[in-house]
Structure 1
Amino acid sequence: MEAQSRRSRSAPTGRPRTAVPSGRPAWDGERPAGPAAAVVDERGVLVGWTQMSERMLGHRADEVVGRSVAMLMADEDAAGPVARWSRLARAGRRWCGTVCLRAKDGTTVKADIETSPMSGDHSGYWFVTAVDPSGVSAWPPAGVPVAAALLARSPVALSIWDTDLRCIWLNSAAARLDGTLGRRRLGQLVTELPLGTAGPGITGAMRQVLETGRPVIEREYTWQVPGEDHERRLTASYFRIEGPDGRPLGVCTMSTDIETSRVRQHLLALAEMGGRVGTTLDVGRTAQELADAVVPLLADYATVDLAESVPFGHEPPLERLQTSPDSLPIFRRAGAASSRNGMPEAIWSIGDPVFVPPSSPFTRALYSGRTHFEPVLDTSPGTWLDQDPRRAERIAQLGIHSLVIVPIRASGTILGEAIFVRHDNRAPFTRDDRMLFEELVGRAALSLDNARRYTREHTAALALQRDLLPGKLSGGPGVELSSRYLPSDIHEGVGGDWFDVVPLPDARVGLVIGDVVGHGINAAALMGQLRTVTATLADLDLPPEEVLARLDRRAGLMNDRSSGNDALGRVMACTCAYVVYDPVECRCAIASAGHPLPALVRPDGDVVFPDVPTGPPIGVGAMSYDSLTVPVPAGSIIALYTDGLIETRDADLDAGMERLRAALRGPSTSLDAFSSHVISFMTPQAWRDAAPSLVAGPDRGPGTVSGQDDIALLLARTRPVSPEHAAAQCRP
């Protein structure tokens, strides 16, 4: 066509020259830098050609200038794209895309094309740049033996800078890292790039490397990429490139976006999963949290098996279980999670003993304390699976193919093992996965160790508390008795609540209830001391107010002898209520030392809280209390309780008293069943579920009250006694 056979009227004549846009520096002829470039007029005719274009396609300037750009297009229908570019150029609009160009030797070169309209005297022309996406076309200089193709396809962002710190090459990863800047930094000095506040530091590091030859490794900096509205956090390493003669040729930079790096992903995953483990001081819950944290994020199935040294239930000791030469009960299942419904991988349920062959990865990891890492599980004959047919069957059924066993170690003790497997995820575990498992298990081990220690202390305190409380209550013929004690949950610890019944002369009976401030073994031990003192004072047949006054005096003496550093510490506060019931007179005398008011349930079901003068708590040193005498008809119920029954974190005392009033108006049943009804009505579970349930009973173990203080309840149903019968009674 005519456009291909003649020069443009504005094309240069004579020696071919290189055309560059105004303001862009010309390149050194001996060391060309930057992308291939050309100038095209509005008809699509080439009017300028650069050395980098010749280097890329092999065409000299005198072979292409004056001809249509369509000659360089490898596509059969080249006229269409050229016409479209011409229309965009006339409209002053830019265009970019990827096309295939035809080199002089007949091969094709895939290139990223960008066209920009020129202004001023060159209005009507457009400037075209072409860059090989691989980055190989611009570098290396001839004679430098570098595996350019390998570097060009590296996932790490690589850039080459000459001795003037001008960018002469970058791979595709670096172009992507630059965002909208892309390959336009080719041919620019580092000082010309929009690096913001990071610019001086980067320039200084590159010059230092160029001058000294000492590399700079992983220097972090922040950079707001042009066109983005947020800063990136990057890390870069710099090292000098030298020729065969040792002369510096430039600087190479290796950059990584920390936000998307594997290290950061590792840390983020660890932080996410670690935050979900160890939220309580409950051993079983912590073990389950560890299993839940990794499924399905990293594993398809995970179990946490604990040794006998970590109690989390009331199961019998493992050494009592039957063993065989092929199977030993070394662990107990504490937690498990699966990506499949129904957990088909599980052979044992939570709480069951876990049997393993004596020669297996489980025992080796336990005794060695080292992780067993088997990314490709060996299921061939002759392995340990021959001694474990149940596991072998599940492995074959589910296609389990990758296994990691991490010992749970804390304070020099192996607490158990965490097992992770894959079956649905066909990728085997990697060493990065192994490191993540080990770090997560290490964190969980500290939580499990804390929970183990706390559970032991809680169990010891609970045993002490229950041993110090009275066993079978006996108050003589004048009362029928029933009691309940519920320690708070494991997070609060055992408290110092107590109750007691003291038979007195003439068929009278003393009813005591108290609450020591604090939790744990110290509170339980102090409760035992105060209960003993109170029972001794009551046995002297003193009036209720005198019993409390002497108890307060005794607590003061205990404080005087306390150094403040002993096991029990100072008695700062203890509430107590003491009631003496006379079945002959059918009345009772009540005194209170800061304790909640007792309740009186009359035979007709009416519930009253006698207005007892409330004195200061025991341990304050007031030693002055008053009592109130109230009539008690036969068949009434005297209810003594601690504040844990009526106090909650989301309700005040008045609301708790009204709930207790409603509970005491319950059905007329046996006193023991009535005690269970009151506890069921008043515990938080019943409030939430709106369905009473038996929380604790005399033969049902301690039970716990979740999220609140201890609960002690003492009920006494009154019975009349004749004076003759009362006189005939002997105190035990």
Structure 2
Amino acid sequence: MEHVSAAATTDAQGIVTGWSEGARRLTGHTAEEVVGRAARELLAEDPSDSAVTELAGTVALRHRDGSSVTVALRAQPVLGADGASNGYVITEQPGGREPTLAGQAFEQASVSMSVFDTEQRYLRLNDTACRVMGVSEETLLGRHFPESVEHAEYSRGFHSNLRQVAATGRPVRYESYTAAPALNREHAWTTEMWPLRDASGEVTAVALTALDSTEQYWARQRLALLNEAAAAIGTTLDVVRTAEELVELLVPRYADFVSVDLLEWVLGADEPPTALNGEIALCRVAHGSRTEGTPEAAVRLGETEVYPAYLPPARALRLHRAVVSQAGEPAFMRWVAGRNAREPVGRPHREGAHSMVAVPLLARGTTLGAAVAIRIAHPDDFGDDDAVLAEELASRAAVCIDNARRFARERSTALALQHSLLPRGLPGQAAVEVAHRYLPSGSLAGIGGDWFDVIPLSGSRVALVVGDVVGHGIPSSATMGRLCTAVRTLADVDLPPDELLTHLDDLVTHLASDDREEEAAELGATCLYSVYDPVSRRLTLASAGHPPPALVLPDGTASLVPLAAGPPLGVGGLPFEATELELPEGAVVALYTDGLIEDRDRDVDHATEELCRALTARTDTLDALCDTVLKAVLPEEPGDDVALLLARTRALGGDRVATWDVTPDPAQVAATRQAATEQLTAWGLDETAFVTELVVSELVTNAIRYGEPPIQLRLIRDQTLICEVADGSSTSPHLRRAHAFDEGGRGLLLVAQLTQRWGSRQTGSGKTIWAEQSLTPEL
């Protein structure tokens, strides 16, 4: 709609005689309403004296809606034939300088300002608004707002707010992110709308100012990304997942395509390289795109790409800062050419990449890899602020990746240490059939200090041990190794369970006192030590703060063993009590650590009932029973290590054990030796008779000479032939080397030479000296 200048004519008395279309548009009055009236009635205020004298100036006219319209006018007299003035032609002076300071401020404001009537038609625009709209003021005046814009979404929101202000008379602050007709990309706008009122207070128009807040908008977006990064990156201690979280954060708000490549040593066990020179090999661990299928990626996940020194990723790694590259620059074009060369056949190629930023992943002075962001559909190139943001986000991601790397390495080390300390193959023995499971923790806490062991003892007995060290990680595994070694050493001395735990408690207390105060708590531990004798079928056990074992009898009933639980190891000063049970052959004893039944979301009593119920399941083997128990009892996401040891008892009957009471008389030695020889013949072990006679003779003679009654000889035919002599004295013999002219001292030395191993153990009524011979013929 073209602008038409306002014009009017009056006679000499000031009565309006003519009225133009431009005057109608300017004031809202039609010719029928004005012609014949005095021109003075159209004035909102009296004109200045200078305007009257010079017939030119700014005049305030009264608009039809009651508002005031300020306009620059000039009057030209109309002369008659006599040269006298018969009237005036009054015309609007277009382009005239605003006479008021407020008007000048409106016209020259650096922000877009506009005025609309209550029907959302343009009444006034300043120069900035015209530049934003891309047309002159004359083109927009009188037009309805929706007719002047093409962006429907923006039009609806803007138009709705205009109507709201006109209807309610309340100002509105409106923020949007959209394109403008004369701008080549989207901008952020902060728009203030407020009502204009006449003297009566009625809303006659709506004024607005629109501020281009694009820079502030992107600054807020960058700050929002940083805030989100703190919560979104590093939610797991997994290197690949952390890289994926960085990609998910950046696409599509920051870039259209993002990739994360790591140096190969980060994903392995190697140490970081001392320097990065020349070509750099990077392994792709994550990438993402706003386009489904990520067609921009020329490198598949898990593949290694070698970047020449001139490409942005390699430069970023060497310079330790972000490198920005735009379309048209040599480095950018080389990167595009190399990328196109690797494009898989038949895979769609994404055109239009125009800007990229490569940023190094640096953590604690160590270079881990590089992230590359590409803009394709995003209209803006990467700038300095974008590079700073990329460095900040990459720094946060790098610390999380390094944490994940360190955790993975420590976990791997702790797990390797744990497995090296746990028994790999349980030793062969006749007392029990065993099966076991060890499950390392999958939680963020890391590997714990759970352990178990099966230790053969003298007399065909066996020790079953399970323990749990407080804490996680390598320190816990190292402490577990100390305790495991100590238990084996003390078991070799053949100490009863309660005495063994007492010595172990002293060891833990000693270790804690040697360590720093803050580490003392990490040396706390629990332990359950039990000894099973297949001859007497008795199980003796003692606990140091450990959960009691479960017992499954051959009739299928299962229950926890009533046990006097002592204090955890390291507390010190409190006694440990031993509990003794007689078990039928075929009973199953289940030893476990608290990770199997304890969880913050579960009731321990209920979990224990589930354990006993699962142990009664009918399975072909103990291995299958282990799996059944873990499946039924173990939490879905156990927060601690789990160790499970199942042992099915066996019994050595009278056909494999022979016992004689020996009268403490040296004359009885020969009779005892003869009885032992006859038993070996009955067992078909005549080849062992010679050595056995010597061992029996020596041990029985020593018991009669140095011990106290009662004296008893026992032969046990197991995987080895065991000869035991028990007496009532607690004095243990010691092996010593006899001198050339000594008459004694050679007996035990002879026993040690002839047998596989020998030793002594304390009993409740004295001691037992034992010796073992191998039944496997030597090759």
TM interval, short-chain normalised: 0.5 to 0.7
In structure 2, relative to structure 1, the CA distance for the partners of 1:131 and 1:682 (3 Å cut) is: same
Aligned residue for 1:718? Answer: 649
Asked if 2 retains the 8 angstrom alpha-carbon contact of 1:401 and 1:428, the reply is no
For residue 125 of structure 2, the aligned residue among 110, 126, 133 is: 133
Aligned residue for 2:608? Answer: 657
For residue 594 of structure 1, the aligned residue among 537, 545, 566 is: 545
For residue 4 of structure 1, the aligned residue among 25, 28, 31 is: 31
**Range 659-668 or range 573-582, more displaced:** 659-668
In structure 2, relative to structure 1, the CA distance for the partners of 1:728 and 1:350 (3 Å cut) is: farther
How far apart in 1 are the matches of 2:75 and 2:67? 11
How far apart in 2 are the matches of 1:28 and 1:684? 96
For residue 475 of structure 2, the aligned residue among 509, 516, 522 is: 522
CA distances 1:333-372 after superposition (whole Å, capped 9, x unpaired): 3223344444455555544444445654333333333334
Give the letter aligned to residue 410 of structure 1. A
How far apart in 2 are the matches of 1:560 and 1:318? 37
What are the within-5 Å matches in structure 2 for residues 229-628 of structure 1? Answer: 261-311=217-267, 330-346=281-297, 349-357=300-308, 360-376=311-327, 383=334, 391-393=342-344, 397-399=349-351, 401-402=353-354, 403-422=356-375, 425=377, 427=379, 429-431=381-383, 432-489=385-442, 491-564=444-517, 568-570=519-521, 573-628=524-579
SS in 2 for 1:569: helix
Cα-Cα RMSD: 4.8
- Cα offset for 1:37? 5.8
In structure 2, relative to structure 1, the CA distance for the partners of 1:505 and 1:349 (3 Å cut) is: farther
How far apart in 1 are the matches of 2:513 and 2:578? 28
- Cα offset for 1:707? 5.0
Asked if 1 retains the 8 angstrom alpha-carbon contact of 2:310 and 2:331, the reply is no
Aligned residue for 2:721? Answer: 728
How far apart in 1 are the matches of 2:67 and 2:440? 91
In structure 2, relative to structure 1, the CA distance for the partners of 1:11 and 1:262 (3 Å cut) is: farther
How far apart in 2 are the matches of 1:338 and 1:713? 47
- Cα offset for 1:577? 0.5
How far apart in 1 are the matches of 2:539 and 2:337? 76
In structure 2, relative to structure 1, the CA distance for the partners of 1:390 and 1:599 (3 Å cut) is: farther
SS in 2 for 1:335: strand
Asked if 2 retains the 8 angstrom alpha-carbon contact of 1:301 and 1:422, the reply is yes
- Cα offset for 1:501? 1.8
Give the letter aligned to residue 427 of structure 1. P
Percent sequence identity is 36
Asked if 2 retains the 8 angstrom alpha-carbon contact of 1:572 and 1:620, the reply is no
In structure 2, relative to structure 1, the CA distance for the partners of 1:563 and 1:59 (3 Å cut) is: same
In structure 2, relative to structure 1, the CA distance for the partners of 1:711 and 1:347 (3 Å cut) is: farther
- Cα offset for 1:388? 6.1
SS in 2 for 1:618: coil
**Range 395-404 or range 510-519, more displaced:** 395-404
TM-score, structure 1 normalization: 0.62
- Cα offset for 1:580? 0.6
Asked if 1 retains the 8 angstrom alpha-carbon contact of 2:251 and 2:257, the reply is yes
What are the within-5 Å matches in structure 2 for residues 102-251 of structure 1? Answer: 112-114=115-117, 131-134=123-126
- Cα offset for 1:525? 1.5
Give the letter aligned to residue 639 of structure 2. Q
- Cα offset for 1:13? 4.5
In structure 2, relative to structure 1, the CA distance for the partners of 1:481 and 1:411 (3 Å cut) is: same
How far apart in 2 are the matches of 1:643 and 1:276? 33
Aligned residue for 2:674? Answer: none
**Higher relative contact order (Cα pairs below 8 Å, separated by 6+ residues):** 1
Aligned residue for 2:594? Answer: 643
**Stretches of structure 2 lacking an aligned partner (at least 5 in a row):** 1-17, 20-29, 52-57, 79-90, 93-112, 136-157, 173-189, 196-208, 658-715, 723-755, 758-771, 773-779
- Cα offset for 1:611? 1.0
How far apart in 1 are the matches of 2:474 and 2:332? 55
SS in 2 for 1:500: strand
How far apart in 2 are the matches of 1:658 and 1:595? 17
**Stretches of structure 1 lacking an aligned partner (at least 5 in a row):** 21-25, 30-34, 64-70, 73-109, 117-127, 137-147, 155-175, 185-192, 196-221, 228-252, 320-326, 686-705
How far apart in 2 are the matches of 1:562 and 1:268? 46
SS in 2 for 1:709: coil
How far apart in 2 are the matches of 1:415 and 1:362? 12
How far apart in 1 are the matches of 2:302 and 2:563? 50
Give the letter aligned to residue 322 of structure 2. T
Give the letter aligned to residue 711 of structure 1. V
In structure 2, relative to structure 1, the CA distance for the partners of 1:715 and 1:574 (3 Å cut) is: same
Asked if 2 retains the 8 angstrom alpha-carbon contact of 1:458 and 1:490, the reply is no
TM-score, structure 2 normalization: 0.59
Larger radius of gyration: 2
Asked if 1 retains the 8 angstrom alpha-carbon contact of 2:311 and 2:331, the reply is no
How far apart in 1 are the matches of 2:33 and 2:294? 79
In structure 2, relative to structure 1, the CA distance for the partners of 1:479 and 1:134 (3 Å cut) is: same
Give the letter aligned to residue 590 of structure 1. L
- Cα offset for 1:152? 10
Asked if 2 retains the 8 angstrom alpha-carbon contact of 1:318 and 1:329, the reply is no
In structure 2, relative to structure 1, the CA distance for the partners of 1:672 and 1:194 (3 Å cut) is: closer
Asked if 2 retains the 8 angstrom alpha-carbon contact of 1:496 and 1:524, the reply is yes
What are the within-5 Å matches in structure 2 for residues 67-82 of structure 1? Answer: none
CA distances 1:211-230 after superposition (whole Å, capped 9, x unpaired): xxxxxxxxxxx999879xxx
- Cα offset for 1:554? 2.3
For residue 619 of structure 2, the aligned residue among 644, 664, 668 is: 668
How far apart in 2 are the matches of 1:718 and 1:305? 56
CA distances 1:566-605 after superposition (whole Å, capped 9, x unpaired): xx53566311101111112223112111111112233344
- Cα offset for 1:298? 3.1
For residue 19 of structure 1, the aligned residue among 28, 31, 45 is: 45
